Amino acid sequence: MTIRIGPVASHDAPEIAAFNERLRAAHVEFQLPEIHSLLPPSGDGGVPVWHEMFVAKEGSTVRGGYLLKRELLVRSQDPLELWNYQIPLSEGIVSRAYAMVGIQILQDAMRRQAHLYSLGMGSMRRPLPKLLARFSWRVEPVPFLFRVIRGNAFLRNITYLKQQKSGRALTQLARLSGAGSLATAGWRAVARIRMPRIPPGMTLETVSSFGQEADTLMEKERHGYPALIDRGAAALNIRFPRTDHRLIRIIAREGRSPIGWLVLTCSDLRDHKQFGSMRLGCIVDGLCAPELCPSLLRLGTELLISKRVDLIVSNQSHHAWTAGLRHCGYLSGPSNYIFARSPALAAITPDVTGWHINRGDGDGPINL
């Protein structure tokens, strides 16, 4: 068996479809994307973010593939081009004869680009994080924080607590006795006392897309973050397209001056594997001076509460954002959002608390 890996070509489309069908028949939830769905390269209008796709073939038959998403890391030194290693898929998932294809795919990506990262992956116990660790990648969870707004809806739907017999009994008892609602009300009262102060004149404005103000804010605030992936207007409008109607984009102002922004989601879930059928709010992404995080997050939280969400969640790596969420009454929970960096990238960047990584990075706010 000879496997060759190279850039995807238009004539590979039928074989990619056949590969996806074999995975689908084995109940694998992930698929290689169709070629026409990839973002255009930077040469086409100066797009700052784009994908490149590579396929592993045995003859003309596709046996695997992966994507590299090109991005820009903004640092106090010169900007650095980096690549998000995405959707590495191998026929080895369904046939042991191709068990080595996953390793060959990773090795190919590392030969092509030194500064790689991967994000998401579901759990530290999943095969991909384990494989990356074997190749000396630095693998860390991105902290997960949550705030329960409606206790009974939370207890009725939260899957994590129902996976164990004791958890099922406790959630049912708390819901039926009213203790869940009582506890939520008590925590809300405590959180209200601890809530950070909102500076006089600080307001929120909802926008349909990002413009020059986002560029101005990134240039102004990037020095407060040791590692920040490009959050200029052009990159943000690719990450958060107008076609995604879940997204709430807001600019925070002090008087007329922009001082930060947030991207939120509000979704009515149905049989979600973690959150059941809750109305879920998420603080997806944002940028401001680190000292303004508590105030900005308070405004975002209050906006989501006004939309009658049952639960608000956020994955944030930077220490100012996690501290800001805790100031706003959020608690820490188990994280399934994993951040991995290639050896070359880990050697020149800080640990996870110095990065500004959240659900706006990687594949964006999917499944929320």
CATH code: domain of residue 76: 3.40.630.30
Residues 205, 321, single domain; the answer is yes
Residues 158, 97, single domain; the answer is no
Give me the pLDDT at residue 128, please.
Answer: 95
Give me the pLDDT at residue 186, please.
Answer: 47
Give me the pLDDT at residue 331, please.
Answer: 95
**Reduced 3-state DSSP string for 188-246:** HHHHHHHCCCCCCCEEEEEECCCCHHHHHHHHHHHHHCCEEECCCHHHHHHHCCCCCCC
Give me the pLDDT at residue 192, please.
Answer: 56
For residue 364, give the amino acid letter: G
Q: How many domains does the chain have?
A: 2
**Could you tell me if residue 229 is left (phi over 0), alpha (psi between -120 and 50 degrees) or otherwise beta?**
beta
Q: Which domain holds residue 16?
A: 4-113
Q: What is the pLDDT along the chain (368 residues), one digit of tens a residue?
A: 799 999 999 999 999 999 999 999 999 989 999 886 776 665 455 678 889 999 999 999 999 999 999 999 998 778 899 999 999 999 999 999 999 999 999 999 999 999 999 999 988 999 999 999 999 999 999 999 999 999 888 888 887 655 554 444 444 544 445 544 545 554 454 555 567 878 788 889 999 999 999 999 999 999 999 999 999 999 999 999 999 999 999 999 998 899 999 999 999 999 888 899 999 999 999 999 999 999 999 999 999 999 999 999 999 999 999 999 999 999 999 999 999 999 999 999 999 999 999 999 998 888 77
Q: Are 47 and 41 in contact (CB under 8 A)?
A: yes
**Cα separation values, 1 from 5, 61, 100, 326, Å:** 13, 12, 11, 54
pTM of the model: 0.88
Q: Pick from 113, 136, 166: which residue ends a domain?
A: 113
Helix (H) or strand (E) holding 56, with range, is strand 50-58
Residues 156, 293, single domain; the answer is yes
Per the listing, tokens 């997204």 go with: 247
> Is residue 347 in a domain?
no
The structure tokens listed for 29 are 């939830």
> Is residue 283 in a domain?
yes
Sheet holding 331-333, edge to edge: 202-207, 247-254, 257-268, 279-288, 311-315, 144-148, 331-333
Q: Pick from 93, 113, 133: which residue ends a domain?
A: 113
Give me the pLDDT at residue 102, please.
Answer: 96
Burial 223-259 (b: 16+ CB within 10 A, else e): ebbbbbbbbbbbbbbebbeeeeebbbbbbbbeeeebb
Residues 97, 244, single domain; the answer is no
The structure tokens listed for 100 are 């080595």
Residues 96, 153, single domain; the answer is no
Residues 29, 101, single domain; the answer is yes
